[in-house]
Amino acid sequence: MEQSKSLLATTRIGGTEFRWGERTYVMGICNLSPDSFSGDGLGNDIETVVAQAKRMVAEGADIIDVGGESTRPGTESSSTDDFDSELRLVIPTIERLASEIPVPISIDTYKSGVASRALKAGAAMINDI
């Protein structure tokens, strides 16, 4: 048993080390898209998003995932307007969260341009469906 534990990977995300296999890690989800799959789209209400993220961290979340585009079944593929809308939702939110919460922030996107800008804004991980 001891040998198998030593073979488990450790991943650093931001300033946090995740030692896989030692415990279960929790990702808190902040859906910003108004047509969110889970029905909790918070839009551009940054104060509500920050409050939700802080509550999740207080309740044990290890990572906060920020998504600005719905990926629910049947959603149409994005246009340039959707790309700009996604950026307007996620970038200010990530900047604010990066300055106020102690856990890594993940950006939920499949667009390289959004991912790149989110990383510059303070995200530490890309969650690509």
Average the pLDDT over 2-9 and give the result.
62
Helix (DSSP H) and strand (DSSP E) numbers for the chain: 4, 6
pLDDT at 4: 54
User: What is 24-127's CATH superfamily?
Assistant: Dihydropteroate synthase-like (3.20.20.20)
Q: Does the global pTM surpass 0.85?
A: no
* pLDDT band, very low/low/confident/very high, at 97 (cuts 50, 70, 90): very high
Over residues 100-125, the pLDDT tens digits come to 999 999 999 999 999 999 999 999 99
Rounded Cα distance, 19 and 82, in Å = 36
Question: What confidence score (pLDDT) does residue 43 get?
Answer: 65
Choose between 17 and 8: higher pLDDT.
17
- Per DSSP, the three-state class of 70 is coil
Q: What is the pLDDT of residue 116?
A: 97
pLDDT at 19 over 80: yes
**Which letter does DSSP use for residue 32 in this model?**
-
Task: State the pLDDT at residue 85.
Answer: 87
pLDDT of 99 above 90: yes
Q: What is the pLDDT of residues 36-79, one digit of tens each?
A: 555 455 666 889 899 999 999 999 999 999 998 866 556 565 55
User: HSE (CB half, 13 Å, CA atoms) of 65?
Assistant: 15
